[in-house]
Structure 1
Amino acid sequence: MIGIPSYHAMAAMAVTVAMFVAFARGRMSIEIISLLTIAVIAVGLYFFPLDGQSPTDGLAIAFGGFGHYALITICALMILGRGLIVTGALDPAARFLERMFKFNLQLGLLFSLFIAFALSMFVNNTPVLVLLIPIFVTLAARGALPASKTLMPLNAASLIGGLATTIGTSTNILVVSIAVDLGMPMMSVFHFTPIVLGAALIALPYIWLVMPKMLGDNRVELQHNQRRFFTRLRVTENSLMNGRELSQIAPRLPSGIEFHDVKPGLFRPGQRIKVSGTHEAIEEAIQVMRGEAAPSWVLERIKRAHNETGDDIEVVEMTVTADSRLINRTLPTSGIADLYGVAVVGIHRPDTLIGQKDQYSDVGDIRMREGDVLLVMGIQKDLEAFATADSLLQLEGRRELPRRSKALLAAAIMGVSVLLASIGVLPIAIAALGGAILMFVTGCVKFDRVGRALSAQVIVLVAASIAIGRIIDESGAAAWLGELLSYGLQFLSPALVLAAIMVFVTILTNFASNATAATVGTPIAFAVAAQLGLPPEPLVLAVLFGCNLSYATPIAYQTNMLIMAEGDYQFGDYVKTGVPLVLIMVTALSVGLVLTYGL
């Protein structure tokens, strides 16, 4: 007969349920709920310590998550991802996928899901997601599907891919190792792959077609208010435009770019082409077409200032005020480049000013008016000097240009870190930390900008989830739940036993941790198999599968937390999309085990 759980075990389960309910209701922020959870555990264990422990041991359980290797690993991975973004290292991959998404959004997403699945079969899915997240954030900024609609499906595909082989995740290795210690033969790499592939085919339509529709659009809805800037791109010898017609280069450009008054025929060096687009689209068009939106000597002067000072090159939006000397001047007659060493790469004219007389000079250059918004490139001190001296008001549209000179270096650092972690030369924590340090030392990521790479929400959530996992394990709550499961399974058929074990481990892994679920679930599977006279292997596989079905909460797995900030997800997003996927996978995997082992 199953005894009553200890008071500590009951309290641990109550705190876990309360945290889940608070997350699901969404009335308080995730940060507040996480900190309250940590506080409750700390205060409770201080006044009512676990058996054989002192009050300070309880504090170590509550606050240990802030120094846990899992949190440090996640932060290091965020820094690595930031390094790829700020150096533009992923631009080629992003442009390739962008062309696929332009051809067809659904096919582009399907192709991406296959990439995530296939890579995760042989490479730990955490570095796979670290590589893919920045690419899809960049794609969202370029007009493809919003990150909120792609990152959750990609995460699910990578988790299923990691489930397909014994080396796909560290949890798989842990379960197989425990099973071997208990007397089961070692499984090969592809021992259970056919079962997982069958389940993946069943789950794919949901992940591909249904899940994105269940998720909101996290893009800021300002598309109709975005300023459009006019610029003149000069064709250079090395330009993509050189020797081509407009119809040949238009498909490669970002959405929103428009050409004006283009003469038919091939583009030639020195030719200036009138183009309009948003701030981001203009930058992308300049990069893709390798054209010049300002005199080459000005651009070289800006690059020299960047190399000498180490300051990033920025592009800032500035509006012309009534006191500015620029009013009625054109860019060539303004002397801006000579005086300040900055380049105006575009001009936006509000609708209220369009139609005024004498807007253009005799050679077609725009005469600046009060209210015009200039898109100005340079280093910060030069930009501030220009704004102050010529009475310009800096707006919110400040963007740092990617440090492309370090793109290959950042990609190499990420590649080596992923490789070392994937083949087991270094633990992923050490590989990620080493990569993050190299990102700092080489200047790919600057120390004063590291805050942009980290998410406070993710940090406190990880710390709270680690505390919850430890208290569930050390209070005896997990062991008691396992005993309760063993007692109830004796009345079920073999097929339902498999499903029940998988559901139990799935619940445990979504609220505690994969390691806890594996450690508790594997011995239970052996004990149940012995009591019911069943072969242990399918029951152990039910545990292994359940440990990986971590879709329903953000605290279930570290990649769930990695995508949380970039996708702007709430706790409820994981529940509403993850629970159906868990049910699909549990059903499909259970049927696969029953058919494979003839139960």
Structure 2
Amino acid sequence: MIAPSFHAVAAMLLAAAMFYAFAKGKLQVEIISLLVIGSIALFLYIAPLPGDDRYAGLELAFRGFGHYALVTICSLMILGRGLVVTGALDPAARTLNNVWKYNKQVGLLVTLVLCLFMSMIINDTPVLVLMIPIMAKLAMKGGIPASKTLIPVNSAILIGGMATTIGTSTNLLVVSLATDLGMDPIGVFQFTPIVLIAALFALPYMWLVMPRLLPDNTATVAQETRTFMAKLRLDPSSQMLGKNEGELSLVLPKDVKYVLPSEQNGVIGRRVHLEGPYEALQESARKLGASLAPAWLLAKIRNDSERSGDDLIVAEMIVAPDSRLIGLTPQTAGLEGVALLGIHQARRPLGETRPERIDTAIAEGDVLLMMGLDVDLKAFASNEGLLMLEGGQEVVRSAKAPLAAVIMLGAVGLASVGLVPIAISALAGAILMFATGCVRFDRVGRALSAKVIVLVAASIALGQFVLVSGAAEWLGQLLAMGLRYLPAAGVLAAIMVFVTILTNFASNTTAAAVGTPIAFSLANTLGLPAEPLILAVLFGCNLCYATPVAYQTNMMIMAEGDYNFGDYLRSGIPLVAIMVVALSVLLVIHYGI
């Protein structure tokens, strides 16, 4: 076997250094990625590849920033952001709540299946962002502890994400690199059946076994949910008008208390007083056809939001000792430009005389739930002597939810039937999200991740360097010497395990960048079709269940479930083994090798 060239050795050393830097975690991902790009550019400028001039190396190093894979990934981030900010995913959340009320175990199964299918067309991170608060609320209401459900839910999302080319940015990267190497383009749903069949073997483990391997950290992560007193104003067209209290109790969430004004004599009129968490109050307003503030005021605030292009924010504010509002009621406070949605009363342990109603006088220490534009909320807090708490949330633009869903389905549908490449349909969908106001252009920074952008660009550059330097061919020949006596399923499993190890202890994008050209070269050496080996790399990059650093969603649930490193290892390694065996056998059967 011929020794690797000088450039091949440099490429392998740079890849190893990148993996080591990611595994150590002392530098930020963005810094490591930019250092890799700069190292390639500088090295190839000083020592150009045979037959190239000094500037060819610069083009190779920075090619990733203009690569269509990066454009597609950014477009899909914007599409996912549109679904989140318009509340298009809320119906799925409400469906899960209803199923969990029926049966916990059935609820967990339905949750896993729903997450798996949602993440096939929506990036993994937005799906998990939706699921974390849902699982936490279900646990607080007597469901399965969140620490026993978040890792299984995250695993289901990761499996769904590997089922299509658009499920994760890593999938797009692998497919794009393979296309650059000369392989025929892989369709959006081309390998979906393989993953779904493998998921049938993994699902019983995630549903029945994985929760038993995880601790019950309820006491550690449990947090008190603040409740607010609110006044619902029913729309004249509400179907609840004129009904009795028994019918009202059947409609409202269980964690909401209600009081009808005495003059209504037990019959629902235009006003209903409630007390409960903000999310439950929102759900109550939706079910009753009502609003938490005067309709004319909400319409004015929303018009101001549309006119200015700024998002509406819901924030909590504490009444300070010098506040003008102390002693005033919501009716006499003279609030302008912002809407009061609810009040959490600071009850004194002794000498409290205020009735627990939203119409009573405001006192020091009360928490006001306010909605408005960010600039108006800050001005209101400053002028009225209030302390604005951190953690305000954007109000979803629910009127645009159907439009956002149609745009996403159109972008995916056009690519899935082969009418246009996914890069074109995703870019068109992102433009439509901007044009229709589903995503505001000045908020695009919240949709795009700088870390992902530079990481993908660096991975593309590194993958190209590994290929053109001859490192991929040399490593492929080295692997072929050890794998030539294995059956095809063994070869695929070995590739998958190799990439999985890199993914779980470094980065899945860099594992994809290095593994894809190696697999392509290995296919030529062993005389095997390239596509199943490339898919083995793609699958291996997604088998990131065994460590918290393997993928960003793993880190997102770590604090929420109070997990430690051992929890991921104990529950993740068996799932990796199940998926490697199932996927390897299915690839052999599907491709007849």
Q: Which band: TM-score by shorter chain?
A: 0.7 to 0.9
* Counterpart code for 2:330: L
* Counterpart code for 1:159: M
Cα distance between partner residues in 1 of 2:485 and 2:407:
55
2:341 aligns with one of 339, 345, 353? 345
Deviates more, 1:458-467 or 1:516-525: 516-525
- Partner deviation per Cα, 1:158-198 (whole Å, 9 max, x = no partner): 425779xxxx99978998999999xxxxxxx99996x7666
Q: Give unmatched runs, 5+ long, in structure 2.
A: 140-145
| 1:237–1:269 contact (8 Å) kept in structure 2 | no
| Cross-structure match for 2:142 | none
| Cross-structure match for 1:528 | 526
| Cross-structure match for 1:49 | 48
Cα distance change of structure 1 residues 574 and 94 upon mapping to structure 2, 3 Å threshold: same
Report matched runs for 1:8-27 at 5 Å: 8-27=7-26
Cα distance between partner residues in 1 of 2:387 and 2:327:
17
- Partner deviation per Cα, 1:240-260 (whole Å, 9 max, x = no partner): 755667776668766854446
| 2:125–2:553 contact (8 Å) kept in structure 1 | no
Report matched runs for 1:508-523 at 5 Å: 521=519
Cα distance between partner residues in 2 of 1:178 and 1:214:
42
| Cross-structure match for 1:359 | 354
Cα distance between partner residues in 2 of 1:192 and 1:420:
17
| Cross-structure match for 2:143 | none
2:298 is the counterpart of 1:299: yes
* Counterpart code for 1:25: K
Cα distance between partner residues in 2 of 1:526 and 1:579:
31
Cα distance between partner residues in 2 of 1:316 and 1:28:
34
Cα distance change of structure 1 residues 57 and 291 upon mapping to structure 2, 3 Å threshold: same
Report matched runs for 1:263-412 at 5 Å: 268-277=268-277, 279-307=278-306, 309-336=308-335, 340-351=336-347, 353=348, 355-360=350-355, 365-380=359-374, 382-384=376-378, 386-412=380-406
Deviates more, 1:8-17 or 1:94-103: 94-103
| 2:45–2:58 contact (8 Å) kept in structure 1 | yes
| 1:231–1:346 contact (8 Å) kept in structure 2 | yes
Cα distance change of structure 1 residues 321 and 541 upon mapping to structure 2, 3 Å threshold: closer
Cα distance between partner residues in 1 of 2:334 and 2:18:
62
Cα distance between partner residues in 2 of 1:105 and 1:380:
39
| Cross-structure match for 2:91 | 92
Deviates more, 1:392-401 or 1:69-78: 392-401
- Once the 2 structures are TM-superposed, how far is the Cα of residue 331 of structure 1 from its aligned partner? 1.6
Cα distance change of structure 1 residues 35 and 190 upon mapping to structure 2, 3 Å threshold: closer
Cα distance change of structure 1 residues 215 and 524 upon mapping to structure 2, 3 Å threshold: same
- Once the 2 structures are TM-superposed, how far is the Cα of residue 137 of structure 1 from its aligned partner? 5.7
Cα distance between partner residues in 2 of 1:522 and 1:343:
60
- Once the 2 structures are TM-superposed, how far is the Cα of residue 442 of structure 1 from its aligned partner? 1.8
- Partner deviation per Cα, 1:117-158 (whole Å, 9 max, x = no partner): 6689xxxx4557588456436635755758776344312134
2:489 is the counterpart of 1:479: no
SS at match of 1:75: helix
Q: TM-score, normalised by structure 2?
A: 0.77
| 1:47–1:55 contact (8 Å) kept in structure 2 | yes
2:148 is the counterpart of 1:154: no
| 1:553–1:574 contact (8 Å) kept in structure 2 | no
Cα distance between partner residues in 1 of 2:213 and 2:446:
28
- Once the 2 structures are TM-superposed, how far is the Cα of residue 272 of structure 1 from its aligned partner? 2.1
Cα distance between partner residues in 2 of 1:217 and 1:34:
38
| Cross-structure match for 1:550 | 541
Deviates more, 1:140-149 or 1:100-109: 140-149
| 2:297–2:339 contact (8 Å) kept in structure 1 | yes
Report matched runs for 1:29-68 at 5 Å: 29-68=28-67
* Counterpart code for 2:478: L
Cα distance between partner residues in 2 of 1:457 and 1:566:
15
- Once the 2 structures are TM-superposed, how far is the Cα of residue 368 of structure 1 from its aligned partner? 1.0
* Counterpart code for 2:160: A
- Partner deviation per Cα, 1:270-299 (whole Å, 9 max, x = no partner): 24223132x444334433443333334433
- Partner deviation per Cα, 1:529-577 (whole Å, 9 max, x = no partner): 5xxxxxx67x9746644543322469xxxxx97857866899x899957
- Once the 2 structures are TM-superposed, how far is the Cα of residue 479 of structure 1 from its aligned partner? 0.9
| 2:121–2:412 contact (8 Å) kept in structure 1 | no
| Cross-structure match for 2:417 | 423
* Counterpart code for 2:540: L
Cα distance between partner residues in 1 of 2:88 and 2:256:
23
Task: Calculate the aligned-residue CA RMSD, in Å.
Answer: 4.8
Deviates more, 1:147-156 or 1:257-266: 257-266
Cα distance between partner residues in 2 of 1:118 and 1:208:
16
| 1:179–1:540 contact (8 Å) kept in structure 2 | no
* Counterpart code for 1:16: A
SS at match of 2:341: strand
Q: TM-score, normalised by structure 1?
A: 0.76
| Cross-structure match for 2:202 | 203
* Counterpart code for 2:581: T
Cα distance change of structure 1 residues 480 and 245 upon mapping to structure 2, 3 Å threshold: farther
Report matched runs for 1:561-580 at 5 Å: none
Paired residues in the alignment total: 564
Cα distance change of structure 1 residues 305 and 488 upon mapping to structure 2, 3 Å threshold: closer
| 1:88–1:407 contact (8 Å) kept in structure 2 | yes
Q: Give unmatched runs, 5+ long, in structure 1.
A: 182-188, 530-535, 555-559
| Cross-structure match for 1:111 | 110
Cα distance change of structure 1 residues 575 and 176 upon mapping to structure 2, 3 Å threshold: farther
Cα distance between partner residues in 2 of 1:94 and 1:552:
26
Cα distance between partner residues in 2 of 1:496 and 1:407:
47
Cα distance change of structure 1 residues 161 and 377 upon mapping to structure 2, 3 Å threshold: closer
